[in-house]
Amino acid sequence: MFEKLLSPLLLVDKVKCEANIKKMVSKIDHTKTIFKPHFKTHQSLAIGELFKKYGISKITVSSLEMAIFFADNGWDDITIAFPFNINWLDEIEKHLKKINLNVVIEDEFVLKEIIKKARQNIGIFIKIDTGSHRTGIEPDNLILLDKITRQISQNNFLAFKGFLAHAGHTYNCKDKIEVENIYYDSLAKLEKLKKHYIYDFKNIIISYGDTPSCSLIKGLNHFDEYRPGNFIFYDMMQYYLGSCAFEEIAVALACPVVAKHENRKEIIIHGGAIHLSKEFLEVDGIKTFGQMVFLKDGSWQKPDGIAYLKSLSQEHGVLKTDTCIFNQIAIGDTIGIIPVHSCLTAYQMRYNYTILNE
Ligand SMILES: Cc1ncc(COP(=O)(O)O)c(C=O)c1O
């Protein structure tokens, strides 16, 4: 099935995806915790159906377009976990009136704009910066948090849902202990806020969840809600962080081999930055843009030996190999590349992907 490929194609292994869902679902204490997976990683209705099999009905997305796409296809409880854009309001009224919609704010001006224009019920999460310093209000800025929570409570259309944080800095951790430290530090900050505001807002929750934390922490029952997304596919970055086994990675980019350089033991593939992104890893001092795998019988296998993407340009990938692997690959073959960051690869390849093991 991978023969005579004209251009790169993303392969998604459905069996592995389902196993990844099953494993994550089994870690969550459903008696007290909501699992609201992030759908930005796969953006696929077929994979959405897999989640439904495990009782998932609430989802997270990262854009208005994604929210409309999933709402149009039957998902009716959606959190847009990206700082609210005030230009969204008209579209929300047009397309998302019938669903249970939550949005995320971190700015008083934005809240005032929502209050001015909102004509439907909207749940509001306040984004808290627990240390990634990308977005969010500092957890000890109670003056601003008091102002914002008061204004939410004074509007009939808005409901204050709680505090939401994303610890993206777990991606820079060297080991499980560092991930745990970030997790428990974030937990302490959000629990303190919940305790402070629970008297005025009885139903507020604390929402958290990046894939490294959700994969590496033993039982997921500390926060009220978890939103990991990448775990559906995993990738080389997660593998090196220890979040998954290599066999759990559920995506590979199938790439045609177009040229070989015997003297350098390098192979040129059609598969570059526009397919994989420019994200790289340094493993033992060597920069890598993806791990090569052999494609066989509707699956893939990691070879023994050297076979990694050493550089990328827009459409080209340069595969570094040892002699043995070099000799096993011919021009016209199709090889697989396990991406460094599957969210970016899946997004770039969203119009060109195949689901294996359906
Ligand atoms: C706000 C928010 N929540 C959840 C996630 C999911 O995290 P991960 O990609 O590590 O699964 C992301 C990812 O960027 C995010 O930005």
Between the CA of 325 and the centroid of ligand 1 the distance, in Å, is 36
Work out which ligand 1 atom sits closest to the CA atom of 82. Answer: 1
DSSP readout, 43-68?
--HHHHHHHHHTT---EEESSHHHHH
**Which residue of 62, 169, 342 sits with most ligand 1 atoms within 8 Å of its CB, as the best mutation to test the pocket?**
62
* Nearest-angstrom CA–CA distance, 208 and 140: 18
Please state the rounded mean pLDDT for residues 129-142. Answer: 96
Segment 21-67, tens digit of pLDDT: 999 999 998 888 999 999 999 999 999 999 999 999 999 999 999 99
What predicted TM-score, i.e. pTM, was given to this entire model?
Answer: 0.96
Q: Is 275 in the pocket of ligand 1 (CB under 6 A)?
A: no
Residue 222 has phi, psi (to 5 degrees) of -90, -45
Cβ–Cβ under 8 Å, residues 182 and 133: no
Task: Please report the atom of ligand 1 found closest to the CA of residue 227.
Answer: 4
Question: How far is ligand 1, taken at its centre, from the CA of residue 310, in Å?
Answer: 27
Instruction: Using the predicted structure, report yes or no on whether residue 1 has a pLDDT greater than 80.
Output: no
| pLDDT tens profile 230-277 | 999 999 999 999 999 999 999 999 999 999 999 999 999 999 999 999
Q: What is the predicted pLDDT for the residue at 31?
A: 87
Q: Would you say the CB of residue 341 lies under 6 angstroms from ligand 1?
A: no
- Confidence bin at 282 (pLDDT 50/70/90): very high
Structure confidence by residue, pLDDT tens digits, 170-202: 999 989 999 999 999 999 999 999 999 999 999
DSSP 81-96: EEEPPGGGHHHHHHHS
Q: What is the mean pLDDT of the chain?
A: 96
In contact, 350 and 247? CB cutoff 8 Å: no
Token pair of 297, please? 């019988």
Question: What's the full length of the chain, in residues?
Answer: 358
Q: Please give the distance, rounded to the nearest whole angstrom, from the Cα atom of residue 324 to the centre of ligand 1.
A: 40
CA-to-CA separations, 249 to 145, 150, 179, 246, 299, in angstroms, rounded? 40, 45, 20, 6, 11
